A and B are shown apart, each in its own frame.
Chain A
Amino acid sequence: MEKIIQFSSKTVVLAVNDIDTDQIIPARYLTVTTKDGLGEGLFADWRFDESGEKVEEFPLNQEKSSGCSILVAGSNFGCGSSREHAPWALVDYGFKAILSTSFADIFKNNALKNGLLPLSISKEFHRMLIENEGTEITISLEKMTIESSNGMTETFDLEPFSRYCLMNGVDQLGFIMKHEDQINAFENKG
């Protein structure tokens, strides 16, 4: 896994609360056995109309969002199904971070295991980002800050173990496997 220390991007804004994982990637894209190419299904029913044409006013379809790797979304992002296809699709499309006032638990967990940062930010900072789409921001995992080009700085919390794994590019399973003796002991205890 790639190490994540710091990166910058302009933002794209999706100002909708409770975006569920069925919207992030509809179920008909889940009949796959690999992670490849899921970006194609990202927000499929919002990005494309019935005839498969791009919906022009949808934020991700606009010229100015091209190359953006940071998505700003409404509260409770990623609610619903546990499908990890949701973060896979977001990553495959090119996103590295989602900023919101809150996230659903399973989505947050899944995102962190795929190098996608689900960062909870204050209502004020969130409002500023919603009102100023395209703000250039820099996220630092080292400093735990989000700096915006208009001079505002926001700090965020991140579960320390996930942060460690992301910054060092290591897989979480390694930590469990290091405790095999304890797992054996636990099993033998019955």
Chain B
Amino acid sequence: MVLQETEETPAILYIDLHLIHEVTTPQAFQSLRDQGFSVRDPNKVLATMDHSTPTLPVKSLRDLDIVAEKGPADQIRDMIRNCEEFGIELHGFDSDKRGIVHVIGPELGATQPGKTIVCGDSHTSTHGAFGALAFGIGTTEVGHVLASQCLLQRKPRTLAVNMNGALKSGVSAKDIILRIIQKLGVDGGVGHVIEYRGSTASILSLEERMTICNMSIEAGARAGMFAPDDKTFNYLIDKPMSPKGLAWDQAVEKWSTLVSDDNCEFDKEIDIDVDHLSPMITYGTNPGMAIQIDDIVPESNSDLGYKKSLNYMQIEAGRPLLGKEIDVVFIGSCTNSRISDLEDAAEILQGQKVANGIRALIVPGSQAVKKEAESLGLDKIFESAGAEWRESGCSMCLGMNGDTVGNGQLAVSTSNRNFEGRQGKGARTILASPKTAAASAIAGSVEDPRKYS
């Protein structure tokens, strides 16, 4: 903290790691140019291309014009130019470190406990899985951080999510977070930072913790975090950007102190029963509109827009969603594109076939995940099941790069947002775990993954 907040002015918070990508930075770089500023510390900036980046192979910039439309291609060129001009290392097409910004941060060990991390992207909350304070900012603030390495902030409120019990077979971390958002509502976390606690917290792997923290924003929370523990340290120990030697020991000592006091009080608390959790799916046009996979869609409540939402989804209240025919399955995004997610999907798809007429697209979160998946033979499992296997990127999560769900089509997607048109104009989205998505791909309709476990 550079300066404490007062009644009149917010705190000046020092930012330890600034993640950037091609969609929310062009106007920030332009404002630096306009005001004659340089980038204060290019070494604290981690730059990648993911949002509008093609997932078909691009070997040279010339390929870009073949696989990408003009808008995204220009944006990518602009990113390359900006990073060159301001002295920032960019993980571009030729880098084996490229990937979705929230996948590569942890993978490289850039994400560490206690760091303040920001990105012009709301899912920056992902990095809270390591006990970092990580949140999304707008493009104006991206400019502030580039120029000053600082951000103006007011102190948030605190929210404890107490998770107890262990996941049953066929149930995943994605189901926990969908249940949390269903319970909190899409605005239940506004103004708060969530701490995920309870007996479940220590059992979950770092990848599972990332899936949960990732969607904190879908409950409106500014950030979400887990206290760092031995699992966190074991994850980070051999990562390229992690401290080494004596510095590692000192870091672990410091990180071990980053836990909430036993008797601390939170502004708000909720409890989640993980023992009795079933797979969750969404039926509406925000992530809070979720049900257990074998439940029926609730009758319309009085919310402004509830009917509009079901109309858009062409889903009827009072009926189950299980067995509803679908068109597309997408396994990917910063929520569920890490190796454990792909292993979950592969376990179900092994020796099976994607149902006739269903498009199944599987997109690894980073080039490193892609390489690891291929070394495990997962790509072969996917391809022989009839799914498409791509280069890394955001892809069908937001459909900016040409990977879209068609107008009116229904997708089961492991991404994080089921907003109207999120995956393409007129696209309809059911959010689910990789296991549910894989099971649904085989069935050609919404399917309970517990059938396969």
Contacts and interface: CB of A to CB of B under 8 A. Distances in A.
A82 B120 contact: yes
A25 to B, nearest CB: 11
Interface in B216-266: 217, 220, 222
B138 A183 contact: no
Contacts of B72: 31
A142 B56 CA distance: 54
A82 B71 contact: no
Contacts of B187: 18, 75-76, 79, 102, 104
A183 B417 CA distance: 37
A179 B190 contact: no
Given A31-B75, A173-B143, A16 B308 contact: yes
Contacts of B417: 20, 22, 80-81
B30 A34 contact: yes
A176 B122 contact: no
Nearest to A46: B420
A110 interface: yes
B94 interface: no
B277 interface: no
Interface string A82-96: 111001000000000
Interface stretch (B1-9, B194-202, B361-369, B372-380): B1-9
Interface string A148-180: 000000000001110010000000110111011
A138 B74 CA distance: 43
B399 A28 contact: yes
A136 interface: no
A84 B420 contact: no
Contact of B149 (A109, A113, A160, A183): A183
A81 B186 contact: no
Contact of A74 (B140, B305, B419, B421): B305
B186 A182 contact: no
A113 B140 contact: yes
B156 to A, nearest CB: 8
B149 A106 contact: no
Interface stretch (B21-29, B99-107, B268-276, B333-341): B21-29
B286 A18 contact: yes
A114 interface: yes
Contacts of B51: 30
Interface in B120-173: 120-122, 136-141, 143-144, 147-150, 152, 154
A179 B26 contact: no
A128 interface: no
Contacts of A75: 187, 304
B286 A20 contact: yes
A32 B220 contact: no
Range of interface residues on B (Cβ < 8 Å): 35 or more
Nearest to A74: B304
Interface size class of A (residues with CB under 8 A): 35 or more
B138 A113 contact: yes
A106 B147 contact: no
A161 B425 contact: no
A17 interface: yes
A89 B147 CA distance: 25
Given A82-B24, A82-B121, A173-B147, A33 B138 contact: no
Contacts of B139: 84, 110
B148 A173 contact: yes
A35 B27 CA distance: 7
A46 B274 CA distance: 39
Most chain A beta-carbon contacts within 10 A, residue among B52, B139, B149 = B139
Contacts of B425: 26, 28, 45
A50 interface: yes
A32 to B, nearest CB: 7
A23 interface: yes
Contacts of A50: 407, 426
A139 to B, nearest CB: 22
29 contacts: A16-B304, A17-B304, A22-B421, A23-B421, A27-B399, A28-B425, A31-B74, A32-B26, A32-B75, A33-B26, A33-B75, A45-B421, A75-B304, A79-B187, A79-B220, A80-B122, A80-B417, A80-B419, A83-B24, A84-B27, A84-B139, A106-B136, A106-B222, A113-B138, A159-B154, A176-B150, A183-B148, A183-B150, A186-B1
Closest 10 CB pairs of A and B: A31-B71, A33-B26, A110-B138, A84-B138, A76-B187, A82-B136, A16-B305, A84-B139, A82-B122, A113-B140
Given A26-B425, A173-B144, 10 more contacts: A22-B398, A31-B72, A35-B27, A82-B138, A104-B190, A105-B222, A106-B137, A110-B138, A172-B144, A182-B3
